[in-house]
Amino acid sequence: MPRTSTAVPPPAVIANGNANEPTASAPTARRRRVQSAETGMGILKALARLGGAASLTALAQAVDESTAKVHRYLASMVEEGLVTQDAASQRYVLGPEAIHIGQAALRQCDPIRAGEPALLQLQAELGATCFIAVMGNLGPTILRIEEPPLAVVVNVRAGSVLPLLWSATGQVFMALGAGAALRVQAQQEWARATPRQKAVLPDAAAIDALCLQVRTQGFANVQDLLLPGISAAAAPLRRHDGAVVGALTALGATGGFDARPGGDAVGRLCAAAASVSAQLGFLNASPQR
């Protein structure tokens, strides 16, 4: 039977292979990929975007291919257990293997690994100290830090636990994280605060207003609050369900480092954090500048 170009485009390796295959670590100037595998993955992604269930017609429209072509790919996905066809409605539905793949992907979801490339790039862009922190059992904890060659000497290093109230990192977790436990910890911090800190956040209403501000602008910024002469800004790292699983923070000497809203540093920080959140599966991540 002759192939027709519309119905059966020949699946092809995008670049020919040869006997000396590259290893995964070797830089490959020319990408070698598999066209029909990509088409299949594209149909799978389209089915997910359509909510996980769709008719053949809707799916073919979504990927801009013929129903005949999409039908063949769907037959392969059914064969592999990634898709099932609903007997009553004839719609194609993501199946149990798709659940297993998603669960395995969630287990690998790690703000440090997902954030490392963005952290390095942000540090290079800003020339400032940048780090990723997660919520540890004692509070926001720095796990991964990148510093400029001539770093401002500040008391932040991998392993440092930061306060919720007086650090930009902590404010991100306090304002955007979940849990009454955070509020109790913030109250304890307030009881131990310096007069200067209490002047910035004099009462519970001021803390509520701060949280609302952080939620509204999507990042936190402090100046000379935790450490005199140091300004910092922090933005949330969110996973697929929106939960804050980490914070990306940049800091520098007040005056040299501009942590104010609308500044270049905050814009780049928020864009970097949004790209990490997208890697972690967060769908609504959009850079806030």
CB of 94 to a copy of itself, least distance (A): 4
- The yes or no reply on residue 99 touching a copy of itself (CB under 8 A) is yes
- The yes or no reply on residue 187 touching a copy of itself (CB under 8 A) is no
- The yes or no reply on residue 44 touching a copy of itself (CB under 8 A) is yes
Give backbone dihedrals phi and psi of 252, rounded to 5 degrees, phi first. Answer: -170, 180
- The yes or no reply on residue 158 touching a copy of itself (CB under 8 A) is no
Residue 203, SS3? coil
Among positions 58, 61, 62, 85, the unique one binding a copy of itself when judged by CB under 8 A: 85
Comparing CB distances to a copy of itself, the nearer of 4 and 188 is: 4
- The yes or no reply on residue 243 touching a copy of itself (CB under 8 A) is no
d(CA 236, CA 214): 10
- DSSP label at residue 248: E
Among positions 103, 137, 216, 284, the unique one binding a copy of itself when judged by CB under 8 A: 103
d(CA 117, CA 273): 11
Contact stretch for a copy of itself (CB under 8 A) within 112-120, 160-168, 213-221, 248-256: 112-120
Kindly identify the residues of this chain, within the stretch 214-233, that bind a copy of itself according to CB under 8 A.
none
d(CA 6, CA 225): 65
The phi-psi region of residue 262 (left if phi > 0; otherwise alpha if psi is between -120 and 50; otherwise beta) is left
Among positions 7, 151, 158, 178, the unique one binding a copy of itself when judged by CB under 8 A: 7
d(CA 262, CA 145): 24
Closest CA to 132 of 146, 121, 152: 146
Comparing CB distances to a copy of itself, the nearer of 7 and 212 is: 7
CB burial of residue 245 (10 Å; 0-12, 13-18, 19+): buried
Among positions 29, 64, 87, 192, the unique one binding a copy of itself when judged by CB under 8 A: 87
- The yes or no reply on residue 3 touching a copy of itself (CB under 8 A) is yes
Among positions 63, 77, 165, 220, the unique one binding a copy of itself when judged by CB under 8 A: 77
**Strand stretches in 56-165, DSSP E:** 83-85, 92-94, 129-135, 140-146
- The yes or no reply on residue 94 touching a copy of itself (CB under 8 A) is yes
- The yes or no reply on residue 143 touching a copy of itself (CB under 8 A) is no
CB of 14 to a copy of itself, least distance (A): 8
List all residues 6 or more positions away from 177 whose beta carbon is below 8 Å from its beta carbon: 135, 244
Taking the mean position of all CA atoms in its chain, how far away is CA 110? 9
Contact stretch for a copy of itself (CB under 8 A) within 41-49, 176-184, 192-200, 202-210: 41-49
Among positions 45, 196, 215, 260, the unique one binding a copy of itself when judged by CB under 8 A: 45
- The yes or no reply on residue 208 touching a copy of itself (CB under 8 A) is no
